[in-house]
Structure 1
Amino acid sequence: MINRNRRVQSGHAALLFALMIPLLFGVFILGTDGARALQSKARIEEASEAAALAIAGQSESSQESRDALASRYIRYYFPHSDIIRMETQNIPCSQNQDCEKITSATEQYFEYTVSTNIEQKNWFSKDTISTSMGNGLNVGGSAKARKYQSQAVDVILVADFSGSMQDRLPGENKNKEQQLIEVMKEVADTLNDYNQHSNLKSELAFTGFNFFTKKYTFDSNDLKYYNYLICKKAHQNQVRQQGWCFDSYENGRNIDVNATVSQIFDYGAYDYWTEKQIIENNSWGQDIVSARFREIPLTDDFSKFKSEISHFYAKGGTASYTGLISGARLAYDGDNQRKLIILLSDGQDSNYSKADDNISSSLIYKGKLCSVIISKLNEKLVYNDSTQSNEHVVSKMFAIGFGYAASDYPVMQQCVGQGNVYDAKNSEAIKDKILELIAEEMGRLSPSD
């Protein structure tokens, strides 16, 4: 009787075990794929944080470039998964409700967000095992990074003051010149706030350009006009003195490109022109001298800076290379380790359609103008108070198009780099971009809500 009961119980146990196999296997599947899902969730949050910090560090301008950069980070973490959603944002302080509540510039920040979803294949698919969690797993993650201003910086604004800056953008009641002056004043106010509420001593400089830049000489109470060009020897004569080596502004064949670029920081290399010489030797002469602007060297007297630019007036053609060379020289004179040269223009250089002879093209493509400027600046040593040692300058160059697609201008992309060209549709966008560039190079993760 006892043996018979044992045989019956043994049969029950076998039957019970057989019935529990699917349940046990389901628990196994849930444990393995579930654990993988939790691990993937943690990793995608980590990947999103890395992507947000990368975007903050590189100040990617367009939605496409930010999404592409974030996607590269997500794919690095999940090489065998599909990205089914990618959203990134660049939120200036003026559009961030949390940031707007903060009054001090030192506490203001730019915020960069990344939000993404991936689809990951499960180890046990629905097609093969009915008790699986499905064929794929949708995992999402998000992160935010902020960028503050924490280092002193020399900011050099290289501004287009050609006649087209007198035009208005659609729907605006002020012309581009007036809007740009207001933007520069707001930048000066922000730098002033940085300096007053920290131990920073950031400085601001300005140089305008049409076909020339202008430098005021206080000892002689006179303006000197520079186009920063050096002619080939055959064209250095009494009529076309140094720097006046072309018959028209689209003709750059008579310019000694290598000499012009190699002597940027040689302060005696370039001849200047007087107002009388400009008028007598150039069909644009009257417009060139009618424009009212001049170089303002690096300064932290922001009240005086704002007062001086208030009276500036745009007129004449466009030659951005004059502004770039002038800006580089202003940057070299600064004592801060970080230097930003920001070119602001509302259009391509005059006569750009003459691409073969265009002066800007020759200087940038053949002479490597912008690369030379950056490399020469970065060779300079300045004293770093934090490390109490001399360190190399870290300089960057950017271009912002005011009401036109500067990113479609190949010469400018070649100059400052494709990732450093921005298109701004209005003055608010210009201001936000300049302040973003001024903020520190690397971001920090935003606090959790």
Structure 2
Amino acid sequence: MHSYSRLHHQSGHAAILFSLFIPVLFGIFTLGTDGARAIQDKARLLEAVEVASLAVAGQGSDNVDLAKQYLEYYFPAATIQDSDIQIKKINCEDNDRCQDNESRFFEYQVTAKISQPTWFPGNEAIIGFGDAYDVASRSVTRKYHSETVDVILVADFSASMYNRWNGGSKRKFLDLKDIIVVIADELDSFNGYMADKSLKNKLGIVGFDYYTSRYNNNTRYFYSHLICGSNEKECTKTNPGGSTNSVNYSATVRDIFNLNSIAHTPWQKREVTNISSFEDVLLTDDMASLKTKINSNSFNITSGSGSGTAFYAGLIRGAQMIYQQGENPRQLIIVLSDGEESNKNTTQKLIQAGLCKTIFDKLNSQQQSNGDNVKARIFAVGFDYNVNNNPQLADCVGAENVFQAQNRDDIKNKILELITEEIGHLAQ
């Protein structure tokens, strides 16, 4: 009886001890489980930040939203605040490691912190990490300047660009001029980073409404770039792509690059229905001169009516300029417009006749003196532009190459992204 009593008494002690150890054991389990997750998340966050840094460097931007999208893909349950993501873009002149390097580069430093919910938060009785634990990581990506690019901005100066819009504080064309100046500054900065000073990024501007325009011998001339009639004659000079004309679409496309064609006959101001001021600015690396021209009254719109839109005219002239003058291995034409074509039927039939394909194929058929092929691309960036309502730009360059932007910064960043895609390679 005494043995049974002692055994029963000891069993009670064991049960009490076991119950006391349960919180400790479970605490060790929770710490081990969530601790292992934290270590794993640390490694995954490093990968996510590396990918995010490559993305922002590839775009040449400090876009926190872009980096955040990558982090949220890796950690869908985590809490990620914008303030927990820091992106630092360091120019070469501010980076000792760049100045001592033969190859010039931008450096992008991305730092991020996430708050990851725990599986076992713990309580007063059981130890744990709480409701969430923080994980942080950092990555550095360099974008080297390995290529130079010729850029033609085909800029809409039709009457609709006189209107105000929600995406900026100014009229559309004034915001457009400011954006062009920013692009010129960025290309000038890129040129300063080139180790080989004989290589230069160049920028040219083509303004358009119904026409393109050139200034020669103190006279402004206008060009429709169209051929009309089966006998291939000049089109009517007022609204040349309008319904009163019988545009010869095949002949127009055939003669895109034939500068002696009747399609490119110069007309004087008194002969045309033009109210806007704009002119060709040939490809140049003199960005200061280009900015002076853009900021002058040489590029101006004085009324919201009377001057229509024909982006095909700007595209044709831009293609001619980059084909004649382009010397760099990368060539980029970017159409900047609100997309409101005045003569949609004419534009659509020109596209169907091969307008855009002919330009694309011609530019990409070029070879450099060393035998390397030139790589040319065409994009469109819209001011407050609805692709569904105005499909001509998308039909021309491809829907994947048309970018809708709702504000000035979006447009600027998209153009810089397109340019930096062409001129650099990434390294970590």
Q: Provide the TM-score with structure 1 as the length reference.
A: 0.65
Structure 1 segment 223-234 matched on structure 2, within 5 A: 225-231=222-228
Distance 1:48 1:308 in 2: 42
Structure 2 vs 1, CA of residues 420 and 286 (structure 1 numbering), >3 Å: closer, same or farther?
A: closer
Following superposition, the deviation at residue 35 of structure 1 comes to: 1.0
Distance 1:236 1:43 in 2: 66
Structure 1 segment 306-325 matched on structure 2, within 5 A: 306=291, 308-309=293-294, 310-314=296-300, 316-325=307-316
1:210 aligns with 2:216: no
CA deviation string 1:397-420 (max 9, x = no partner): 343444x34666443344444564
Partner of 2:334: 342
Partner of 1:47: 48
Distance 2:355 2:84 in 1: 33
Structure 1 segment 49-64 matched on structure 2, within 5 A: 49-57=50-58
Partner of 2:367: 381
Partner of 2:3: none
Contact 2:84 2:114 in 1 (8 A): no
Structure 1 segment 297-446 matched on structure 2, within 5 A: 297-306=282-291, 308-309=293-294, 310-314=296-300, 316-333=307-324, 334-346=326-338, 348-351=340-343, 357=345, 359-364=346-351, 366-367=352-353, 369-370=355-356, 373-382=359-368, 390-402=371-383, 404-405=384-385, 409-416=390-397, 417-418=399-400, 420-423=402-405, 425-426=407-408, 434-439=415-420
Contact 1:149 1:440 in 2 (8 A): no
Distance 2:84 2:337 in 1: 25
Partner of 1:271: 263
Following superposition, the deviation at residue 209 of structure 1 comes to: 0.9
Contact 1:228 1:260 in 2 (8 A): yes
CA deviation string 1:70-111 (max 9, x = no partner): 646754x56xx546657599999xxx8987x969xx999696
Among residues 152, 157, 160, which one is paired with 2:153 in the alignment? 157
Structure 1 segment 183-202 matched on structure 2, within 5 A: 183-196=179-192, 198=194, 199=197, 200-202=199-201
Contact 2:334 2:381 in 1 (8 A): yes
Partner of 1:236: 230
SS of the equivalent of 2:273 reads: helix
SS of the equivalent of 1:382 reads: coil
Contact 2:227 2:252 in 1 (8 A): yes
Distance 1:89 1:367 in 2: 52
Structure 1 segment 66-77 matched on structure 2, within 5 A: 71=69, 75=73, 77=74
Following superposition, the deviation at residue 254 of structure 1 comes to: 4.6
Q: Which moved more, 1:54-63 or 1:42-51?
A: 54-63
Partner of 2:304: none
CA deviation string 1:164-191 (max 9, x = no partner): 4455668999765555445544544543
Contact 1:56 1:112 in 2 (8 A): no
Distance 2:250 2:140 in 1: 43
Structure 2 vs 1, CA of residues 120 and 90 (structure 1 numbering), >3 Å: closer, same or farther?
A: closer
Structure 2 vs 1, CA of residues 401 and 61 (structure 1 numbering), >3 Å: closer, same or farther?
A: farther
2:152 is matched by which residue type in structure 1? I
Distance 2:349 2:110 in 1: 40
Contact 1:59 1:437 in 2 (8 A): no
Structure 2 vs 1, CA of residues 251 and 155 (structure 1 numbering), >3 Å: closer, same or farther?
A: same
Distance 1:405 1:61 in 2: 24
Structure 1 segment 121-140 matched on structure 2, within 5 A: 122=119
Distance 2:78 2:160 in 1: 45
1:40 is matched by which residue type in structure 2? D
Distance 1:367 1:113 in 2: 48
Distance 1:300 1:153 in 2: 11
Distance 1:431 1:206 in 2: 15
Partner of 1:3: none
1:213 is matched by which residue type in structure 2? T
